[in-house]
Amino acid sequence: MSFFNVENLTIKFGGLTAVDRVNLHVDEGEIVGLIGPNGAGKTTVFNLITGVYMPDTGSITFKGTNLVNMKPNQIAERGIVRTFQNIRLFKGLTVYDNIRTAGHLRIPYSFVHSLLHTGLYERREKECRENADKLLGMVGLLDRKDEISASLPYGMQRRVEIARALALKPSLLLLDEPAAGMNPQECVELIDFIRKVKNEFSTTILIIEHHMDVIMNICERMYVLNFGKLLTEGTPSEIQNDPKVIEAYLGEEQEDVED
Amino acid sequence: MGEFLQQLWNGLSIGSVYALVAVGYTLVFGVLKFINFAHGSILTLGAYIALLIALQKVVPFQVAMGLSMVLSGFFSMLTEQQVYKKLRVKNAPRLNMLITSIGISLLVENAIVVYFSADYHIYPRIMSGVPIQLGEVLIPPVDILLVVGAIILMLALWFFVNRTLTGLSIKAVSMDRDASSLMGINVNRAISVTFFLAGVMAATAGLLIGMKFSVNPALGGLFGLKSFSAAVLGGIGSIQGAYVGGYLIGLLETFGAGYISSNFKDAIAFILLVLVLLFKPSGIFGKGTKEKV
Amino acid sequence: MSSGFLKRLGALVVQVLVVWGIATYFKQSLPAYPIGILTVFCINAILALSWNLVAGFTGQFSMGHAGFMAIGAYTSALLMMKAGWPFLPSLIAGGTLSGFAGFLIGFPSLRLVGDYLSVVTLGFQYIITAILNNTVKLTGGGLGLAGVPFKSTLPVTAVILVITMWLITNLVHSKHGRSFVSVKEDEIAARSVGIDTTTYKIMAFVISSFFAGIGGALIGHYMMYLHPDIFNYQKTVEVISMVILGGIGSLTGSIAGAFGITLLPEVFRNLATLFGSWGLAAAGAFVKKGWTVFYAIMFLLIMLTRPQGLIGRKELTWESIGKIRLFKKLQKKEV
């Protein structure tokens, strides 16, 4: 029984098969990359894994349980947590409240305790605050915790989103283009940061990324998607020299020129 | 059989009114993607402007009604240009549009109560009240005006939207506002025209209700909500859907009242609304959409 | 039991006692007119808080609040009148039944977003009105229900307001409160961090309609008369305007807004009398008759110029009052 397994995953939107019979697996403790040209279906795979979309066929198993038909919140509860390509923070809330909101699953107390602010409430909230402080310290945003999250610069919002995901103590973290919009210096920092996350939280990571230097640096293995289909899989050096991959990316670039 | 036909006719005549109002909800929802809570109050406004003009005793009531249709259309357009547009350009949350439309309905209804009082008002009679006997069915002459008038107006609107350039621009804006603007369509003008048309249709419905029953300042609330149910039933955003939904609500309500219980006549439309939203939120003619993540 | 909890509970008891004392003193020393206004303010504040919880915090724009109020009002009144129940159990039963109705309405709301939910809840209010109009034997229907026992004295309503405020404030500052807000902020993000948005929506509906039922019951026990038309669309809009005035998502804002909206008709009424006493009879009559139009215009102006309300999402605290510019200037002068 493997840690995380996707078999024969397929979804169609109208006439378009966005994800076509995709198989992939992630072992515990790995950092695995998912790459491919624009529109290859990478984010759709994430949406399928996290229950935002229901697959037409296929299975998604995590630690032996089938995730298909589960609601997104149930999947998050089981330890698969994601970030979003275009960042979905609770924009009107402070950085601190973003993290505390996400920590809600890991601080068990019932409604009555909320209503009466009992001793249990107090202890659990204290844990929650300490945990939020710790996470914010780790992403280096402790000094900005009381700012409204939407007012932060883009790069910091990304870090808040990752910290928010970590508040759930995930066993599998899905990162959707964490380096988007970052300059080379920030990319180097991000690589260190992701390694640190993996070590400190002993979490497994599946990552979608366009920045090749980022993905080649941190991934042990990677999958390449093209037009919804799995093109190939392998180690970074294997992928870099695979003519099929080069063709897929070159094709895209030519299209870009025509546009 | 006689009773059935009678109910059928009654359902069609009240359904015409719902259809006229429903199409306004649908048109406005199409271009702005929000439910205009003030739309029902345009119906009330139309009914009372005619009364206001008639009370001056300068022009015959028929002329007053015509003027009321046009003025209500302009008022509807004005609410868009002076209020909703200001929120639109600020990129205000949709919720604010909704709350603001409640404010407009409050303004219209309170103004009418202040000027006319909250009581019922009867229209001057402009046609014979003696029903025409058609087989076993009794048809009041005003019903004929109601059904025929509504159908003519609906056909005119359909023709306008599908066959004229302005009408097509409304359709384009409904499909994709940003793309329409890029293609050189005057989006603001299309939205204004939409509000004008919706206002005229709603005012006409108010006038027809006034001729058939009586008017009161709370008229638009109940009729507005039932017509909205009709628009949802037909599939919001679809013009023929609004027509079909209007007639369906009219018929179901009349038959429900006739054959089940008249006590809960007003509740039938809302129960239908809840059922449609639960089981087929896109309505009869609507298209489903998936939210992009 | 921690000392913190006992301290907070003690503070609540002190607040309740102080408010009870002040309200009882007012009741004995003030004329009936201001006492009436204060009582109505307390009831309105409870209603505003309850609507703010579901709409302001959870983002579920309910337009059926009057329907929930009606359920609470009729339940409590009828239990006292026909079943001989005492006041407090009747009141709580009224709130509970209303909360149950909130559960039933919250259920379809799971699948509805934004504007649709508003319309369905508004339809619910019309259904309640239809039911009340057609149960003449029980509720008096369109004839109204006279002889509801008078129980909403100023001390009673003031204490219920204090307790309501305490409970809702506690709730908002808890993981449940944060989850409510997350539903409003971004449902997809909320689900992605494991928040069961459906459950929280229903929960918000139930709690909000519970307090709406309590508020409605207090209205009945204040007016000593009930009629289906008391709980109409306009009543819902009145509650909404309190929250809008104060600031959506601010609890102290709701209370300030309730105060403003309760006072508004009285201000206009007194203005009319004042104009009359100056010999401006026409102006007086105009103000007296037309104030509802001003009210509507005010509503629109707030939405157009300051949609976040007077206070916005912040809470009014003694500290923040000190920060208001006017007070700052005063303080500077003192220095």
pLDDT digits (tens, 9 = 90+) for B152-199: 999 999 999 999 999 999 999 998 888 999 988 999 999 999 999 999
Q: Measured between CA atoms, how close is A86 to chain B, in angstroms?
A: 9
User: Whole-prediction pTM value?
Assistant: 0.91
pLDDT digits (tens, 9 = 90+) for C247-300: 888 999 999 999 999 999 888 888 888 888 887 777 787 787 888 898 899 899
pLDDT digits (tens, 9 = 90+) for A32-81: 999 988 888 999 999 999 999 999 999 999 998 999 999 999 999 999 99
Helix/strand/coil percent split, chain A, to 5: 45, 25, 30
Res B24 pLDDT > 80? yes
Domain boundaries, chain C: 3-248
Structure tokens at C186: 């971004």
Residue B134: which of B226, B249, B6 has the closest Cα? B6
- Chain B nearest-CA residue for C308: B96
* Count of other CB atoms within 10 angstroms of residue C100: 15
User: C109 and C87 in contact (C-beta within 8 Å)?
Assistant: no
User: B28 and B194 in contact (C-beta within 8 Å)?
Assistant: yes
- Chain C nearest-CA residue for B97: C303
User: B34 and B98 in contact (C-beta within 8 Å)?
Assistant: yes
pLDDT digits (tens, 9 = 90+) for B47-103: 999 999 998 988 999 999 999 999 999 999 999 999 999 998 888 887 888 889 999
Res A250 pLDDT > 80? no
Provide mean pLDDT across the span B2-30.
92
**DSSP states along C10-29:** HHHHHHHHHHHHHHHHHHHH
- Chain B nearest-CA residue for A48: B293
User: C44 and C258 in contact (C-beta within 8 Å)?
Assistant: yes
* Domain covering A1-79+170-259: architecture: 3-Layer(aba) Sandwich (3.40)
pLDDT digits (tens, 9 = 90+) for A9-19: 999 988 889 99
Q: Measured between CA atoms, how close is A156 to chain C, in angstroms?
A: 17
For residue A255, the model assigns a pLDDT of 45
Rounded CA-CA distance A37/A226 in Å is 7
Res C325 pLDDT > 80? no
Higher pLDDT, A248 or A126: A126
Rounded CA-CA distance A18/B261 in Å is 52
Provide mean pLDDT across the span B21-46.
93
For residue B3, the model assigns a pLDDT of 85
Provide mean pLDDT across the span C45-69.
94
Domain boundaries, chain B: 15-123+131-219
Residue A175 identity? L
Contacts of A43 in chain B (CB under 8 A): 293
Work out the mean pLDDT of chain C and round it to a whole number: 89
Higher pLDDT, B230 or C318: B230
- Cβ-Cβ contacts under 8 Å between A and B: the total is 5
Residues of C with CB under 8 A from a CB of B: 59, 61, 108, 111-112, 114-116, 118-120, 122-124, 126-127, 129-131, 133-134, 188, 232-234, 237, 240, 244, 289-290, 292-293, 295-297, 299-300, 303-304, 307
For residue B291, the model assigns a pLDDT of 45
Q: What band does B264 get if pLDDT is binned at 50, 70 and 90?
A: confident
For residue A219, the model assigns a pLDDT of 92
Contacts of A84 in chain B (CB under 8 A): 293
For residue A256, the model assigns a pLDDT of 43
User: C291 and C233 in contact (C-beta within 8 Å)?
Assistant: no
Most B CBs within 10 Å: which of C111, C184, C293, as the mutation test of the B interface? Answer: C293
Most A CBs within 10 Å: which of C5, C9, C174, as the mutation test of the A interface? Answer: C174
CATH number assigned to the domain with residue range C3-248, chosen from the 4 options 1.10.10, 1.10.3090, 1.10.3470, 3.30.70: 1.10.3470
Provide mean pLDDT across the span B222-234.
91
For residue A97, the model assigns a pLDDT of 94
User: A19 and A9 in contact (C-beta within 8 Å)?
Assistant: yes
For residue C110, the model assigns a pLDDT of 67
> Inter-chain contact C304–B99, Cβ cutoff 8 Å?
no
Provide mean pLDDT across the span C150-177.
96
> Inter-chain contact A52–B290, Cβ cutoff 8 Å?
no
Higher pLDDT, B273 or B261: B273
pLDDT digits (tens, 9 = 90+) for B40-62: 999 999 999 999 999 898 899 99
A158: contact with C, CB 8 A cutoff:
no
Work out the mean pLDDT of chain A and round it to a whole number: 89
Residue B201: which of B266, B153, B147 has the closest Cα? B153
- Measure Cα distances from C219 to A145, C78, C84, C152 in Å: 44, 14, 19, 8
Structure tokens at A75: 């999947």
Strands (E), C22-161: 145-146
Rounded CA-CA distance C257/C271 in Å is 20
Domain boundaries, chain A: 1-79+170-259, 90-169
